[in-house]
Each structure stands twice: as structure tokens, then as C-alpha cells.
């Protein structure tokens, strides 16, 4: 995953990624760590923040528009609109705070169901702050089980030590590239002719009944 900030205008695909999770789990730090390879204790995000990063994956030049939302409840009504059209959604929790993990199923997964417009959009579960191993309360296995239940990717990382941060985004982008419908959405200007594709196979159970 090569980063290149020079070729701003040239890209093959534009993907919109969204980061959600309770306040203080380290979404902004994670993003900053990915974008600029630095780590700072950031002020809490107010509402929503937005970053663009150009990367090259598998020979494809990608423009990633990453929306980093605030976890505070008050901003939730506002952030709902950012779910629209996202090809990837990153759900972040803090491995040292159990409530941030349980809120994923109680709050955030429901928000996704409610607001996401994209059936195929890739969801990724990220357990942050693994550098504080001694304070850990959510085990890796719990994370894996959750990911399996919700059908999403799973990784544990640390924005502070930058362990797995690059891999986290790379994995997500690769998965999006693997999904034709998302790829089609992301390709600007490259128009697809649906009629030249094979017609969708009709439901086997219904077409074979006579």
C-alpha cells in the first residue's frame, strides 16, 4: 500500500469510508496514525472530521475519503447522513473499556442497519489500544465472535504504536476491491453497461417449479 499525495487528481476509484464507535475509543487517532504516521492525543472530534488519502493498491490508484465521526450522542443525528454511500464502515472499540464494545451491538450496528444505503458495504471491527495490554478487558476471542456474528472483518490494533494500523485500512480496501458492486460505485466515469452482463439468474426454487 503505497501512499502518494502528489497525484491528487488522478485516481481510478474513489471509496468512501466511515469510522464509527463510542467517543474516546481513538477513531481520530487511528485515522491520524494512518494518514500521517504520527500519534497525538487529539481533542475530541466535534461532529465529524474528514480526511483524504491517496493510495495505490494492486496497481489501482485509489482515493480514500475517510469520514471520522464523533461518538457523542448529540452528534449522532447529524452523523447519520454520512452513512450514505459509504463502501466501508469501520467500527472501533477500546479493548480496555467493555462498554465501548457492548455499545457496538446495542447502538452502532443498529445505526448501520438504519442509515447505510449500501447492502454490500464492507464492515470492519477494530479493537483499538492493544498497547495497553495490561488494562485489556475485551478478549480477542470476543472480538472474533462479534465479527463472525455480524459478518465483518476483524483486527486489533494500536493507534499509538501503529501496530496493524496500515493493515487495517489495507484489508478493508482490498475487500472493497473484491466486491464488484462496490467497485462499480467507486469507479467514477467508468460506466458499466448492465445489459451486456448476463441477466441475474432467477431464483432457482421458483424457476424450476414447472
Partner 1 sequence: MASSSNCKAEIDADDEVLEESIEHFDDFTLASSWERFISEIEAVCRLWMADGPKNLLEKGAVLLESYGNLYKVKSEMKYAMKSYFMEYYFESNPMGKAAEWNFNLHDLQLCFGVKEFLVIAPQSASGVVLDAPEASKLLSAIAIALSNCSSLWPAFVPVHDPSRKAYIGIQNLGTVFTRRFEADRIGSQVPIKLMHLEGLYEIFVSKFAYSTLDLSIHVFKVQFSMRLTYRTIAYEDDDDIKGTDAGVTKSGDNPNGEASNRTQWDDDCSWSEWYYAEDPVRGFELIAIWSEKIVESSMEMAELENSSPHEAEKWFITPNFSPNVLEGSKGKRIGFSSQLHLVVDALEMSFEAQFIEDFVSAENPGSDNLKSMVIPSPTVIDRVMRELFHDGVQLTDFIDGEHKTSRAIKGAPLESLFAQFCLHSLWFGNCNIRAIAVLWVEFVREVRWCWEESQPLPRMLMNGTIDLSTCLVNQKLQMLAICIEKKQQWNEDFQDCLGSEDHSDSMTEDESVAGDDSDTMHKPSENFSGKVDSFSIADDSHSCGRTIAREGKKTEDLSPRDDKKSSENTRRGSAGIIDSMMLLKSYQSMHAPYTQEAPLMTEDMHEERLQAVEAFGDSFNFSAQLEKEILTSDMSAFKAANPDAVFEDFIRWHSPGDWEEVDLEDSVSQSGVGIEKSKDNWPPRGRLSKRMSEKGNLWREIWDSVSALPASEQKPLLDPNREGEKVLHYLETLRPHQLLEQMVSTAFRAAVDTLNQTSYGDLKQMGTKMDQLYLTLASGLKPLQVNRLSADSETINDLRRLCIVFEHVENLLTIAASLHRKILRAPRLSKEIFDDFYNFYSPRMGTGLTDDVVHKEHNVKVEVRNQERTVVSNMFSPPTANQSWRKVLSMGNLLNGHEPILREIIFTLCDEVNGNHYAGRDAGSSQNELKSYRMYTCGTSNDLRVALSVVSCD
**Sites of contact with partner 1 (CB under 8 A):** 22-24, 35, 41-52, 65, 70-72, 74-75, 77-78, 81, 84, 100, 117, 188-189, 191, 193-195, 200, 202-203, 206-207, 209-210
Cα distances (angstroms) measured from residue 11 to each of 1, 15, 55, 68, 176: 14, 11, 9, 22, 16
**Shortest Å, Cβ 196 to partner 1:** 10
Phi and psi, residue 10, nearest 5°: -90, 120
Looking at the Cβ atoms of 1 and 65, the one nearer to partner 1 is 65
**Shortest Å, Cβ 174 to partner 1:** 24
DSSP letter (8 states) at residue 158: B
Looking at the Cβ atoms of 63 and 123, the one nearer to partner 1 is 63
Looking at the Cβ atoms of 141 and 209, the one nearer to partner 1 is 209
Cα distances (angstroms) measured from residue 17 to each of 25, 102, 194: 17, 22, 26
**Shortest Å, Cβ 111 to partner 1:** 15
Helices H, strands E: what count in the chain?
A: 8, 7
Cα distances (angstroms) measured from residue 75 to each of 22, 36, 70, 85, 162: 11, 26, 7, 19, 28
Looking at the Cβ atoms of 2 and 195, the one nearer to partner 1 is 195
Answer for the pair 92, 26: CB distance below 8 angstroms, yes or no.
yes
First to last CA, the chain: 52
**Shortest Å, Cβ 195 to partner 1:** 5
Looking at the Cβ atoms of 103 and 164, the one nearer to partner 1 is 103
Answer for the pair 122, 147: CB distance below 8 angstroms, yes or no.
no
Looking at the Cβ atoms of 65 and 174, the one nearer to partner 1 is 65
**Shortest Å, Cβ 114 to partner 1:** 12
**Shortest Å, Cβ 27 to partner 1:** 12
Of 183, 147, 193, the residue nearest 168 (C-alpha): 147
Amino acid at each position: 500500500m503505497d501512499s502518494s499525495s502528489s497525484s491528487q487528481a488522478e485516481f481510478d476509484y474513489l471509496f468512501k469510508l466511515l469510522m464509527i464507535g463510542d467517543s474516546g475509543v481513538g477513531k481520530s487517532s487511528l485515522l491520524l496514525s494512518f494518514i500521517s504516521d504520527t500519534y497525538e492525543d487529539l481533542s475530541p472530534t466535534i461532529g465529524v472530521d474528514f480526511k483524504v488519502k491517496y493510495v495505490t493498491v494492486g496497481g489501482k490508484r485509489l482515493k480514500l475519503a475517510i469520514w471520522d465521526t464523533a461518538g457523542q450522542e448529540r452528534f449522532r443525528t447529524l452523523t447519520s447522513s454520512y452513512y450514505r454511500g459509504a463502501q466501508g464502515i469501520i467500527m472501533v472499540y477500546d479493548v480496555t473499556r467493555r462498554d465501548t464494545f457492548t455499545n457496538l451491538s446495542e447502538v452502532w450496528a443498529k445505526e448501520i442497519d438504519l442509515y447505510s444505503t449500501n447492502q454490500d458495504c464492507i464492515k470492519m471491527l477494530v479493537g483499538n489500544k492493544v498497547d495497553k495490554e495490561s488494562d485489556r478487558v475485551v478478549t480477542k476471542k470476543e472480538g472474533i465472535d462479534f465479527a463472525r456474528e455480524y459478518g465483518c472483518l476483524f483486527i486489533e490494533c494500536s493507534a499509538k504504536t501503529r501496530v496493524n494500523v496500515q493493515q487495517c485500512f489495507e484489508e478493508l480496501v482490498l475487500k472493497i476491491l473484491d466486491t464488484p458492486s462496490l467497485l462499480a460505485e467507486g469507479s467514477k466515469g467508468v460506466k458499466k453497461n448492465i445489459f451486456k452482463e448476463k441477466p441475474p439468474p432467477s431464483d432457482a426454487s421458483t424457476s424450476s417449479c414447472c
